[in-house]
Amino acid sequence: MTDSKNTATLTVHGKEYELPVHSPTAGPDVVDIRKLYGQAGVFTYDPGFTSTASCDSTITYIDGEKGELLHRGYPIDQLAEKSHFLEVCYLLLYGELPAAKDLEQFETTITRHTMLHEQMQYFYRGFRRDAHPMAIMVGVVGAMSAFYHDSTDISDPRQREVASHRLIAKMPTIAAWAYKYHTGQPFVYPRNDLDYASNFLRMCFSVPAEEYEVNPILSRAMDRIFTLHADHEQNASTSTVRLASSSGANPFACIAAGIACLWGPAHGGANQACLEMLEEIGSVDRIPEYIARAKDKNDPFRLMGFGHRVYKNFDPRAKVMKQSADEVLDLLGVENNPKLQVAKELEKEALQDPYFAEKKLFPNVDFYSGIILEAMGFPTSMFTPIFALSRTVGWVSQWKEMIADPQNKIGRPRQLYLGETLRDYVDIENR
């Protein structure tokens, strides 16, 4: 394929086809192949979508080489340091940083939507107590479509907005209740005088017998974890949400699909897997053994919290997370946390190893987040639900953008078929 000005020429079976090339505001140009099948009768082939732009978007930009993550143009490290989660939610949803009065109104709206329909408690009670909180979240979020009918008409922009607010507002309650159910403690209702992160911490850790005093530094660290996970352009779960919604399905069903996708250990499940790995390694002297295993082609083991499809230099979220881990452990007076020691040494040794350098594998956002969450008191099973809670705003913003896009049509990939060709049915006695 050759590129000339704003077209690319593709030769298929000796015949040339001109394909438009679009230039983004940042990042690589894209070759527009939408008419290719109609003109040339061929599909393109890209399992895992390593070279395919599935949509246009104005929300999030990642430069994997530079280690840059921008939300609506603002770098993640500035947002993590100077902003806070609900402001970032507003930015992702509406495209601009809010004026003070708009932020106040948005925060009030979110705060007023945090309660769950009382009958939703019965959904929780239907699960086994040992259910993974992610299993509960997939079910309960999907069930929201049975409770909030007045925000399922996706053709109505106001209903779309209400659904977005409900999802962002109720997700902390849903996740906290999944945790409470899992541990056998009574559900704790949200409180309107608390900020988003403090409310979540209290709903997780307060019990009727004893009020939980929210430490503002821990609440700030929680808020930062939410912010760092808020959106990440067209990753697997976001693409799942977009694909599910392309059929016109209601937003609650689509976000439940996103949660299901996030659960996997290659995606959001990596934070749980990473902490379990650090625990298994146990002490710094065992690190070489695990590095050797990660490099061994015949061993399926991978260093969890390492590597990324897009970042090939460093993950800017991991930098902030590492700093936060130090701060939180310091605050909690945790000295010589063995997992943090193993994590830091593992990072150091892996980065010096040519295998990881050549393959451009660096710690990702999940490498240090588990250490902070564990220090706050969360069990590993809550790590991925907290990721889901944080990413909800990203899913919802991408969903809203997609529905409002006049080019929106059902997603329907094609395939390279390698199966049997036409053959006649054989009666059972003749097989």
* Residues that bind ligand CMC in the complex, under the rule CB under 6 A: 235, 266-268, 270, 294, 302-309, 359, 361, 364-366
Residue 189 buriedness (CB in 10 A; 0-12 / 13-18 / 19+): middle
> By C-beta, is 143 or 275 nearer to ligand CMC?
275
> By C-beta, is 17 or 302 nearer to ligand CMC?
302
> By C-beta, is 177 or 306 nearer to ligand CMC?
306
Closest approach of Cβ 355 to ligand CMC, in Å? 7
Whether residue 366 lies in the annotated active site: yes
Closest approach of Cβ 331 to ligand CMC, in Å? 25
Whether residue 308 lies in the annotated active site: yes
Element containing residue 216 per DSSP (H, E): helix 216-228
> By C-beta, is 19 or 273 nearer to ligand CMC?
273
Closest approach of Cβ 313 to ligand CMC, in Å? 14
> By C-beta, is 238 or 250 nearer to ligand CMC?
238
Closest approach of Cβ 387 to ligand CMC, in Å? 7
Measured in whole angstroms, how far is the alpha carbon of residue 1 from the centre of its chain? 34
Calculate the alpha carbon distances from 363 to 21, 167, 303, 368 in Å. Answer: 34, 30, 9, 8
Buried b (16+ CB within 10 A) or exposed e, 223-250: bbbbbbbbbbbbbbbbbbbbbbbbeebb
Closest approach of Cβ 270 to ligand CMC, in Å? 3
Phi and psi at residue 263, to the nearest 5°: -60, -30
Phi and psi at residue 75, to the nearest 5°: -65, 145
Which is the catalytic residue, given 195, 267, 308, 315?
308
Closest approach of Cβ 361 to ligand CMC, in Å? 5
Which is the catalytic residue, given 353, 366, 424, 427?
366
Angstrom distance (rounded) from CA 334 to CA 330 = 6
The strand pairing partners of 70, in sequence order, are 61, 75
Give the residue closest to ligand CMC by C-beta.
Answer: 307
Contacts of 184 (CB under 8 A, 6+ apart): 129
> By C-beta, is 98 or 363 nearer to ligand CMC?
363
Reference 390, options 114, 197, 148; nearest CA is 197
Angstrom distance (rounded) from CA 216 to CA 48 = 42
Angstrom distance (rounded) from CA 431 to CA 422 = 17
Do 152 and 251 touch, CB atoms closer than 8 A? yes
> By C-beta, is 309 or 379 nearer to ligand CMC?
309
> By C-beta, is 334 or 357 nearer to ligand CMC?
357
**In which region does residue 390 sit, left (phi positive, over 0), alpha (psi from -120 to 50) or beta (all else)?**
alpha
Closest approach of Cβ 310 to ligand CMC, in Å? 8
Closest approach of Cβ 388 to ligand CMC, in Å? 11
Do 109 and 165 touch, CB atoms closer than 8 A? yes
Expressed in percent and rounded to 5, the helix, strand and coil fractions of the chain are 55, 10, 40
Do 352 and 253 touch, CB atoms closer than 8 A? no
Phi and psi at residue 186, to the nearest 5°: -65, 150
Angstrom distance (rounded) from CA 217 to CA 221 = 6
Residues marked active site are found at 308, 366
